Structure 1
Amino acid sequence: MTYRVLTRIGLVLGTLVLIATTACRPPSAPASAPIAPAPTSGGAGLAHDFVASPVVVPEEQNAGPQRIVSLAPMATEICCALGLLDRLIGRTRYCDYPPAVAAVAPLGALNELNVEVLVTLKPDLILISGTSRAISDRLRPLNLTCEWLPDNRLEDVFDAMTRVGELCGRPKTARRLCAAIREDLAAIATRYRPATPSRVLLFPTTLTTPPTPPYAAGPGSFYADLIALAGHKLALNDTQQPWGPLSLEYILSTDPDVLIELDPDGASRPGGDADALAAWSRVGDLKAVRERRVRVLRGGQHYLPGPRVAHTFEAICRAISEPPR
């Protein structure tokens, strides 16, 4: 869902194609030691980078399919977090993390998939995010083993990791990974627990100049789940869609406490928050502008409901909790 929505609103992201509570919840008395924390990629943050530093249960090291193709960055990162980087034989051109995936053969993107090359690779398993009909129609006649991974909600992250673990002979590794990420999320939520909830709007792109109605994350998106987990709430009503444009008049009327934009590479907001504040000041009299609580989150990882979701959660928590600049 995330990829399909963002491509419809014209985002060109160099880091993504796009975009189970019980199954992934850590057991009350684990039979073996928990997953060892990987170093963070953000310095002093609480979120660990399990994609760059996976830990595999020893007995599962040699299990599972040997030839995997990933047609989504979130699927690629899940594979790497499960220690399956050496099994990847194909990826999209947007799959660029961890850096070592650059050695894996690129196959284009969803709408430009090189099916001929894909067939010659003879994959045991193809992983795809969402339920794109376009890619389904192209792959179905090929009689290849494909798995579509859920990518809408926060719990879908854990469902997807669990499913890949099952398919690739690493169910224990997947359970430990889910448990470790849940621990990161809980620790971050505790650190940033607010005294008073803020009303937030989050936009997967930056506001244009002059301002035009921007797309926003709504109820049913994994961003909404993260904001709720942080103790805050979307400045939207529950009847709105997970993704959709908001009129400038609606934004003025709802008057959120915090505005958050996503900028994949910093190109749209080279000046960071200051640039975003200047852009949103042209919309009208907004509380977030008056109180200088307009934030920009940089990085393609913030578009992916995958193993680095705790990094996005921590960035959102920090953006909301930081004092005005």
Structure 2
Amino acid sequence: MPQRPQMRGSSPNLVLCLIVIAWLTAIAPPARTQTTTIRDDTGATLRLTTPARRIVSLAPGATEMLFAAGAGDRVLATVTGSDEPEAAKKIERIGDANALVFDRLITLKPDAVVVWKDLTNKLIIDSLVNKLKLNVYYVSVRMLDDIPHSVLRLGVLAGTSAIAESAARSMELKIAALPKKVSFNRRPLDVFFMIWDVPLYTVGSRNVVPDALRRCGARNIYDDIDFPSPIVEFEDIKKRNPDVILMAAPPITARDWRERWARFPSIKAVANKQVLTYSDVRLTRMGPSAIDAVPGLCQQLDRVPR
């Protein structure tokens, strides 16, 4: 009877080796998941295995920055006031700076929640970090020059760096075209920038408004307060005696505020009829469009007698 030919290269030892290799592969521990460390505007870090695909933004300025960074389609939900760009208006709202629908946030399962340092309510942030254990990314901007840098970092968060870099370069060119500082040919105007009436909210040094005012030849009278939007006392405003009161409000609201200021003619701004309406919300949102709002602010202040 003819013998069956053996397979070339086959041997009991080879078969045994293959069995051992297969067994070792089966019991080997799984490969470690690669993580990326991402640094936010405050220097804090968070670790993600992939770029953030599911983002919730809890600040209008941050929402605008995410769109500029090419990550607008990653934003699942945001807060009241996130109206720029136009596409942001279609995003679901789950609260505002002081209140949040946490049940809805949980169901969205975000990879990262973007908050604004010192503007988003601290109790909300505490719940996000300590109770829900979510990845919290902080945005913090106090100068116009900070905005393009924030956009760049958000591009890293979302994995859209190429788009973010292009947008940041465009912003830097716009900022470079703005005045750099107060002109010393004229005395800087002392400005009280009014955000709300009861209580009286204004802007402190941790806000882009004072930087914009400086570029327009003016000075924020509360630049000595290291906070974005502090509450101030009326008597202290009288002591600081501003040349101009800029009311950041719609025309009808500003009309009511102006009528109240009219009762205090000892304030220079009131006596000289320089209680003015400033309706451009782009500046107080502190997103990329704040840069575009500066020329209009300068034009308005240039008309004030000195």
TM-score, normalised relative to structure 1: 0.65
Q: Residues 72, 308 of structure 1: CA spacing in aligned structure 2 closer, same or farther, 3 A cutoff?
A: same
- Tell me how large the CA RMSD over aligned residues is: 3.2
Q: Residues 195, 276 of structure 1: CA spacing in aligned structure 2 closer, same or farther, 3 A cutoff?
A: farther
Q: Deviations over 1:237-294 (max 9, x none)?
A: 74x444444444443443332221111x33412x5xxx66554332123333343332
> Partners of 2:62 and 2:223 in 1: how far apart?
31
Task: Confirm or deny: 8 A CA contact 1:257 1:288 kept in the other structure.
Answer: yes
Q: Residues 93, 286 of structure 1: CA spacing in aligned structure 2 closer, same or farther, 3 A cutoff?
A: closer
Q: Residues 249, 122 of structure 1: CA spacing in aligned structure 2 closer, same or farther, 3 A cutoff?
A: closer
| Number of corresponding residues | 253
Task: Confirm or deny: 8 A CA contact 1:262 1:302 kept in the other structure.
Answer: no
Identity of aligned residues (%): 25
> Partners of 2:176 and 2:74 in 1: how far apart?
32
> Partners of 1:174 and 1:309 in 2: how far apart?
17
> Partners of 2:196 and 2:104 in 1: how far apart?
36
Secondary structure, aligned partner of 2:92: coil
1:161 counterpart = 2:142: no
Of residues 104, 127, 138, the one that matches 1:138 is 127
Aligned pairs for 1:271-286 within 5 A: 271=255, 278-286=259-267
Of residues 215, 218, 230, the one that matches 2:201 is 215
Q: Residues 138, 310 of structure 1: CA spacing in aligned structure 2 closer, same or farther, 3 A cutoff?
A: same
Residue equivalent to 1:298: 279
> Partners of 2:172 and 2:187 in 1: how far apart?
22
TM-score, normalised relative to structure 2: 0.69
Residue equivalent to 2:237: 251
Larger Rg: 2
Aligned pairs for 1:1-325 within 5 A: 64-130=51-117, 132-140=121-129, 141-189=131-179, 195-205=185-195, 214-235=200-221, 238=224, 240-242=225-227, 243-263=229-249, 265-269=250-254, 271=255, 278-323=259-304
Corresponding letter in the other structure for 1:322: R
Corresponding letter in the other structure for 2:155: G
Task: Confirm or deny: 8 A CA contact 1:185 1:313 kept in the other structure.
Answer: no
Task: Confirm or deny: 8 A CA contact 2:258 2:275 kept in the other structure.
Answer: yes
Task: Confirm or deny: 8 A CA contact 1:150 1:159 kept in the other structure.
Answer: no
Q: Deviations over 1:212-250 (max 9, x none)?
A: x83332334322222223333234574x44444444444
**What displacement does 1:167 show?**
0.9
Query: Which sections of structure 1, spanning at least 5 residues, go unmatched?
Result: 1-19, 21-62
> Partners of 1:82 and 1:237 in 2: how far apart?
30
**What displacement does 1:120 show?**
2.1
Q: Deviations over 1:280-323 (max 9, x none)?
A: 33212333334333221114333212111113323321221124
> Partners of 1:107 and 1:199 in 2: how far apart?
40
> Partners of 1:202 and 1:321 in 2: how far apart?
16
